[in-house]
Each structure stands twice: as C-alpha cells, then as structure tokens.
Structure 1
Amino acid sequence: MKWSQVLTDYENYLRLERGLSENSILNYSLDIKKLSRWLENNEMAISPISISEDTLQQFIYDLAKKVNPRSQSRTISGLKGFFNYMIFEEYRKTNPLELIDSPKLGRKLPDTLALSEIDALITAIDLSSKQGERNRAILETLYGCGLRVSELTNLKISDLFFDEGFIKVSGKGDKERLVPIGPTTEKYINIYRKEIRVHQKIKPQAMDTLFLNQHGSPLTRAMIFTIVKRLAEKTGIRKNISPHTFRHSFATHLLENGADLMAIQQMLGHESITTTEIYTHVDRRHLSEVINKFHPRK
C-alpha cells in the first residue's frame, strides 16, 4: 500500500465521516506527507502498514531538530489519529505511536489588546477609502463577537438576526452556534451593508457572503491578516497582532468585567471549558478582585 493511496482514503474519511473542515484535513494531510517525504529522503521503502515504532521514533527525533515542541506535539497527535484510522480500517492491529509521548508544553498565554489599542486600530482606518467602512465593520465584528478569522470570512447575510440580537456562526467542524451581537457592531455592519456593499457588483456565488473584496468575491483569510497587520504598523503597536488577537481580547475583556466563564465558552465555541480557562491566567488582578469582593472570609 502506497502512502499517497492511503492518504486519499484518509482525507475522504475525515471529510465524509468525521465532518472536518478543509483546513483541518489539510493540516492532517501535511503531517502524513512529512513522514512519507522523510522516508523517501532516507531511502526507506516502508509502507503505512509495516512502519514500526522504532522508525517513527527516529522520524520524531529528526523532526525535533527542526521544529518547536508545539509543532512537534501537533504532528505526533496528527499521526496518532492516522494510525488509529489504519486500525479502524483493519490495515493494522496496533498503533506504532501508542507509546510515544508528545513533548511537555507550557501553556502559552494569548496576546491581548487594551481597549485603547483596539480603538486606535479602528481610528486608523481610512474611511474615505473604498474599503474603509468594510474594514471598520470587520474589526468591530472580530472584537464584538469574538470570531475566528474563518468564521468571519464565512459569515453570511442570512446568518444575521439583528432583531433577535444574535448572529449564527459556523465554527470548527461546521458546528453552528449563536453569538450575541451588540448595538455598536450591528451599527457598523449595517453602514457597510447599506452604504457600500449594496453598490458593489457581486459574483453570483457570493451573493449571501457578508464581507467581500473589491471584485465582489469572498475575502480570504490572508486578506484579513493583511488588513490587521497594516493597521498595527500604522498605529505603531508593537505587539504580535493577528485577527485572532481580537478574539483573545474579546474573551479577556469579558472576563475582566465579570462575565461567567461558561458563557464565554459558549460564545467562543469551545468544546471544553478547559480551553476557555486559559483566559483566567491572563489577568491575575481580576481574580484577586473577585475573591476580595465575593468570598465570605475576605
């Protein structure tokens, strides 16, 4: 059995039976391609069925010389999933990575922006430009609703339920959730829709897509990154800012102002509360204030 053959079957399994997004499938595929290229470069004619734990140990050892522990851990996790699939399809009886541990990772705290920095980024938008109102609506939506960049680019006009006060978001694995939307975010989306977007010539396949490029097509993830990076340079903010920074800031500011952690979990679309708990590490001062205010032994 060739690696290319089983990879195609695995991608179809992830797509059809697991319902994963194309981005997730691409990441899993890259892990397997790394391994198959390494085997080829080392002149090892070993199939997915016969590859052993010792060979995989050597691959991971070589990988550790080139990538950081986080990337190494993600690759190991991806390959474990692949070999579990091989067992599921009865190509193998055991997972050769079962006894191989991922490197221990410290918990990386997310970068966040102060409210004044978010205001500065939005103020730096040139509203006289063709895309100014659109870009303001994009930043307000990223921060106001805590969306992932892919959730923003996939947002549809039919997902906007302003009368009810929420938007429908398609998250990881095409899982849908309802996210409340505030009047400020709603205001700037409406300005973009009614004053800018309505005058665009829109491609047929993008008629329901909210945020469009100048050609009337959906925006790419890369374009959102470019918008944010350029504004950061313009304002002189030296933090490592990306679209995801607005999502982190959304969660952190809610927590600082007393929001319930489970409510934040639901709005972010985290499957596990453990993922959301990382925000409790961002501002220790806030946690001290909670104890001093609410604990009976304060």
Structure 2
Amino acid sequence: MEVEEYLGRSRLYRRLRSGPHGQLVERYAARLVEGRLVRHGAWRCLNVVGGLLSWIAGRRYKLVDLDEQVVERYLRHRGRRQSIQPGDRAALKRWLLVLPPLTPHERIFKEFDAYLRSERGLAPRSIVRHLPVIRRFLHEVCSGGAAALCKINQEDVIRYIERHAKDWSPGTGKAMCWSLRAFLRYLHHRGLNARPLADCVPSMRRWKLATLPTYLPAAQGKALDGCDREMVMGRRDYAILLLLAKLGLRANEVATLTLDDIDWRASEMLVCAKGRQRARMPIPPDVGATIVAYLRSGRPKSSCRRLFVRTLAPHVGFASGCAITMIAKAALDRVGIEGCAHRGAHIFRHSLATELLRSGATLSEIGQLLRHENHGTTRIYTKVDIDALRTLSLPWPGGVQ
C-alpha cells in the first residue's frame, strides 16, 4: 500500500517514532494505514502532530492535558506562522483518539485545573503548585476516584494535616493548607462533597520576619566565573546568572523572557513579574553585551521566541523557572560555594538587595528595583545590616553592649 511504503521511507515518521511518544506515534500511523490516506495526507498528518508535540514541549502542557480546547489553541498558534489546511483539525482529533484514557485521579486534576483557570483566574504557574499536594491527598484519603469524593469527611482532612504538617518547613506547610482549602472549596462548589470542608483546614502559625535572608558574601560572589563562556551552554548560563545577579530577576521571570520583550533602542526589557504584572527594567551595558554575545554565538536556531532556549533538541524555552534554579545551583557547585541555607536562583536576588543596602540605598529604592508590592517585604533586608542594628541594641547588664 502507498501509505505503508511511505511510512517505511519517511524520515519524519522515524524521527517521531524515536521520540518520547514513539508508541503513540506507531498507533497513530496504524490508524493512517487503516484509513487508507494517500502519501501526502499521511505526511501532512504526521507533520501537524509533530508540530503539536514540539509546541506542548515548550509549554506547561502534558499529554493528559490535551483536549479539543488545547488543539484549537495550537491551531491558532500554527495559523499565525503558516496556512491551516482543511484536514489539519481532523488529523489532530485523530491523534486525540490514540491517547490513553485518563485515570480517575488524572480526570479530577484536569477538571480542578480548568476550574482554577476559568473561574478563579489563577496563572498556570500557580496551578502547578497545587497539584502535588492534591495528588498526595487523594492517594492517601480518596483512592476510589471521583465516586469517593463525597465520602471525604472532616476527620480525614484533619488526620491528613496532622500527619504531614511537620514534613517540611512552616512555609511549605502553609502552602499545603492553602492547596487543600482550594481543592475542598472546589469540591463543595461543584457539589462533589456536601460538606464545606475548607473551613476545617487549620491555619499554620508562621512568624513574620523570623529568619534572615540568605545571601552570598562578597568573597563568594564569583559564581559567574564558573561558566565556561567558550562553550555554548556557558554563554547562555552566564547571561542567565547576570540577569539574576545584576537585576534581581526571579527564576520564572528569566525563563519567560522573550525576544520581543527587549527594547534595544531604549535599553529596557519588559518583565512578566508576579501577580501578572508587567514591569520595565533597564538593561545595564554589561548585561546587554552578554545577551548580545549569547544571541550571536550561543543561541541555537529556533522558531521559539523565548530568549533562552535549551541547548539540546528540541530547542524550545524552559517549561518553568525550575530550570533556571538548577542552572544557579550548578553554578554555585562549580565554584565550591557552601554554607548557604538556600541554594538556587533566589540567593542572587537576596545578595543584590543586601549589597545595595550596605552601599547606602534606601529601602524604597530597593523595593522599586525588586518590584515589591508591599514595603514590608523589603524590610526583611534591614536585619542583615548588623552594624546599623548595633546602634539600636539595649545595653547589656554590666555595661557591655
């Protein structure tokens, strides 16, 4: 048959079959053979499916997230770059049919995700934080799937929190309760559980300003020197670390930067900050020169508009700020920086604020640079100015201060 002969010689089919979804691609190709599509039709179907898989790899979507709404979103994206053929939508719907059915828990996650997006207006990166907590909660408390959601009671919730309240830090414990409240509120809102169980989730005590911000001492501020700028990955990582250290950007803010966010004439960049805010940041000359060096001789050729992309194929943007955190951790490890309570991208932000405070910058100026909405968030850095705090301490009995 013509389709079978084409699949045997097609480099596109071999590439997709050797990818992470090879078994599904083989099943999809079998459907193409059964449908007796001509060779050009088979190529077009595989091409559209390959584009969809590359598109979801650069975003937060997984195979379990694929449905007709996501397919329509992808087709709009594809339509901005090339023409959409009449059979493209049918090819993608045929792909949805070969996907494995959702497990009961995956179906619950998918519906909860849609609720948070459409009715609560949460950003995707906020929704992702809920899912690990809910997955563990359902595994322990409600292993029977959606039919057992109505059986969850107050004792189940309280016992679960008592078991896991001290598993992590107080901040993570508060986040666990926050996720549980959101999920239990969703169950009651949708009528899946008649009890308003969100009211029985306790509040975990966490004292404000109880800890010191972690920062890199001046003698250890050479984490950037560990990047080998003779290598492609080294040039990319150096540019990323410079944005963290010089501008105090958050990991997710670096990961979501696009080529269109940089205004070279004005020497500014548009940053997607927390709370869906958009902030303009100046580009210092050394940062701009480093980005230019990366774009000219470090960034792989890619249609992706993200500023920083993966060095290994597929050359797409990072799925989240976790990749930026891992790059920062690797940089600290390369130069042997130890003794830090937190080792990640945020330590560069804390170090910048600490250095500015010791250089005489005001809290208002630091808060403006770091884009803090609340001045109380900036006040935590006053605790690292030990010399200034000594003048406020009371005399110790015996005359020693």
Q: Which has the higher contact order (CA 8 A, sep 6+)?
A: 1
Residues 76-87 of structure 1 correspond to what in structure 2 (within 5 A)? Answer: 76-87=177-188
The answer to whether structure 1 residue 111 and structure 2 residue 111 are counterparts is no
Offset, 1:222: 4.7
Structure 1: gaps of 5 or more residues? 291-298
The DSSP-based 3-state class of the residue aligned with 2:306 is coil
Q: Distance in 1 between matches of 2:385 and 2:223?
A: 22
The question of whether the paired residues in 1 share the 8 Å contact of 2:270 and 2:279 is answered with yes
The DSSP-based 3-state class of the residue aligned with 1:168 is strand
Structure 1 residues 270, 92: CA separation in 2 closer, same or farther (over 3 Å shift)?
A: farther
Q: Distance in 2 between matches of 1:170 and 1:83?
A: 30
Structure 2: gaps of 5 or more residues? 1-103, 393-401
Letter in 2 for 1:203: S
The DSSP-based 3-state class of the residue aligned with 1:61 is helix
Structure 1 residues 29, 228: CA separation in 2 closer, same or farther (over 3 Å shift)?
A: closer
Q: Distance in 2 between matches of 1:178 and 1:113?
A: 26
Q: Distance in 2 between matches of 1:39 and 1:189?
A: 49
What is the alpha-carbon root mean square deviation over aligned residues?
Answer: 3.2
1:63-114 deviations in Å (ceiling 9; x for gaps): 2364443332211111112233445556667642425433323433331113
The answer to whether structure 1 residue 234 and structure 2 residue 234 are counterparts is no
Q: Distance in 2 between matches of 1:58 and 1:230?
A: 39
The answer to whether structure 1 residue 140 and structure 2 residue 140 are counterparts is no
Q: Distance in 2 between matches of 1:7 and 1:126?
A: 42
Offset, 1:168: 0.8
Q: Which runs of 4+ in 1 moved over 6 A?
A: 43-46
Structure 1 residues 48, 177: CA separation in 2 closer, same or farther (over 3 Å shift)?
A: farther
Structure 1 residues 201, 134: CA separation in 2 closer, same or farther (over 3 Å shift)?
A: closer
Q: Distance in 2 between matches of 1:222 and 1:63?
A: 24
Offset, 1:39: 1.3
1:294 corresponding residue in structure 2:
none
Residues 50-89 of structure 1 correspond to what in structure 2 (within 5 A)? Answer: 50-64=151-165, 66-89=167-190
Offset, 1:142: 0.8
The question of whether the paired residues in 1 share the 8 Å contact of 2:137 and 2:160 is answered with yes
Q: Distance in 2 between matches of 1:95 and 1:265?
A: 39
Structure 1 residues 157, 27: CA separation in 2 closer, same or farther (over 3 Å shift)?
A: same
The question of whether the paired residues in 1 share the 8 Å contact of 2:253 and 2:273 is answered with yes
Q: TM-score, normalised by structure 2?
A: 0.61
The question of whether the paired residues in 2 share the 8 Å contact of 1:202 and 1:217 is answered with no
1:5-28 deviations in Å (ceiling 9; x for gaps): 554332112223444333321221
**Length, aligned pairs only:** 283
Offset, 1:49: 4.5
The DSSP-based 3-state class of the residue aligned with 1:105 is coil
